[in-house]
Chains A and B, each alone.
Chain A
Amino acid sequence: MVETAVKFLRPNLELLHVIDIQSIAMKKFDLIMANSSIQYIKNPIVFLQDLVEIDSTYLYITRTPLSQHNEYEFAQISRLVDHGPGYLKRKQNNELVSTTVKVLSKTNFESILNEKYDIKFVIKEEDSVLTFGNQTFDSYGYFCERKR
């Protein structure tokens, strides 16, 4: 996605694209936003820990499915056209794609955030946004402020 964005977006000196978190680890950020992305990362726990270590003033995570106890990994089947705006050939409109999704436990997720952040509020955003077998997962939003 990052490579595609770089290819198609007009050059903008204020908009940079990087493919790993280490390359920007020394930068200062006011806000980190993660909108429906952490669950699609190969190792979301390590990634979340890295995000927390960046030490941004605020951390905003939204549209993230979490489980009440265990962690789950499964294939999410969805239509390609539902993945967002972009050019698709007509025959691709109903094409199904499989994406690996990893659902963290809410307790574990929050304990990582709590290492450096105060969770200012949590919102249960949607019920049953993902289903795996007889398990359903709700999605959550977190707005956090770095501890002083």
Chain B
Amino acid sequence: MSAATDVWVVVEPAAGGRPRKITYELLGLARTLAGPLRVHAVVAGRAVRGMADDLAAHGAHVVHVAESPLLEPYTTDAHVQAVGTALAGAAPGLVLIGSTAAGRDLAPRLAARLDAGIVTDCASVAIEDERVVATRPTMTRKAIARVAFGDGIRIAVVLPNVYPPAPAEAGRSAEVVPVAFNMDAGDVRTRVVEVSAIKRETVPLTEADIIVSGGRGLRGPENFALLDKLAKELGAAVGSSRPPVDSGWVPHDYEIGQTGKTVNPQLYIACGISGAPQHLAGMSGSRYIVAINKDPQAPIFGIATYGVVGDVFEILPLLTEEVRKLKSAQRAGG
């Protein structure tokens, strides 16, 4: 970087007093980018000081803490104020934020307030020739853009599941710095009335290591139960291509693709999915792809690591049973 800089990570608290998985991924990336310089974490919530040790163990040298009842649950006004105050004071050269519902809500507004450069959907962030350069999929994944930041505050919104989480090292500690936060309740212009968990979801699709996904080839909503069974054995999340959503078989939040979610799991198992460009736009970044489809001409086979030409209704129960046996053998074997 033209001016060497500390790297900041905006922490996203999740349930249970721990940060969301993406936070650890960002801390790992921040350690790499900061080199000999320091990694700062900024965390805002009701009572979040207790996260400092965990953040330190995962690589933060300094933890900036904003605490207030107004900071939980997340609201745009309160968090932009808290995080913005912490950043404005330090004017860091690089800030990493996770591409989550809250991160995508917060980051652009923060950039506008701080007159910062911002790049969203980053699949990589690196320092090249003293510039911070990010890559991101664009044009429905028909292209990869390389984007360079200018000077000033730079905000990179990084996709989940592309960087490995930072390993914890015991014995590290961080300096804890309080962030001044004095906002009146009346200045927060949104109010979270209710958060209703979507029951089926064990792991959010965007954070899952394994995804089992179904398409038109499943023929009806009842057959998604076959995917649920396999997913349960694998500890996977269940998604879909667009046709099952359009047909009302599964809710909108299942959808992976251009008009749905972008996912980057280790393993993606596409069942009865033909592989329209609109679907590939959301999943072709998966590390390994298994396609199960009876049509040998289906475009999904063009990108599948393992292409199973066969009937999903025959293959899925067999696969589920084999995975179940394997997992129970692994458990028995320790």
A and B associate in one complex: no
Which residues of A are in contact with B by a Cβ distance under 8 Å? none
Which residues of B are in contact with A by a Cβ distance under 8 Å? none
